[in-house]
Amino acid sequence: MILYIKSLKELQKLASAIAKTLKGGEILALSGNLGAGKTTFTKLLLKELGIKSRIVSPTFVLMVPYSSKGKTYYHLDLYRTSSFNEVSALGIEDLWGTKENIFVIEWAERIKKHLPKKTISFRFEVSPFKNSERKIIIKNAPKKFKI
């Protein structure tokens, strides 16, 4: 599925629509160039999911967990690493099998071949015409989601 997002407001609507579909156990794999909008989308999504604390960059610690309403959301940013061993050492393979846990992984293309088949992937592309517009290619998009 390909979406054309015209503004941050529309990205917020997408985040809200995606948040409503999450039941637990999902892995969201975000990819796209520097400044494409992965972190912006993650912040909007986590806010939408009820996370009140400040969302910090996981670039140096790789993974930051947030809890809300009985679920734990793990935010990863793999910009600094392409090593699946390093990521695996965090224990993610045990965690992502469980219904309470939801993953949002920036620069997920770096571990693409290790991600489960059910992974929902979002590829962010900046419009060549307008800096506020994004093309977002979603694979394994949740069924029945409406913006």
Ligand X SMILES: Nc1ncnc2c1ncn2[C@@H]1O[C@H](COP(=O)(O)OP(=O)(O)OP(=O)(O)O)[C@@H](O)[C@H]1O
Partner residues linked to 72 by β-bridges: 67, 101
31 binds Mg ion (CB under 5 A): no
Spatial distance between the Cα atoms of 104 and 98, rounded to a whole number of angstroms: 14
Show the site string, 40-79: x = touches Mg ion by CB under 5 A, - = not. Answer: ----------------------------------------
Stretch that binds Mg ion, among 25-33, 37-45, 117-125, 129-137 (CB under 5 A): 37-45
Q: Which of residues 37-56 bind ligand X (CB under 6 A)?
A: 37-40
Q: How far is the CB of 27 from ligand X (least distance, A)?
A: 18
Min dist CB 116 to ligand X, Å, is: 23
What is the β-pairing status of strands 120-126 and 134-139?
A: antiparallel
Residue-by-residue DSSP string for 30-49: EE-STTSSHHHHHHHHHHHT
Cβ 29 vs Cβ 41: under 8 Å: no
Residues in binding contact with Mg ion, number by CB under 5 A: 3
Classify residue 118 by its DSSP letter: T
Q: What are the residues binding Mg ion (CB under 5 A)?
A: 38-39, 106
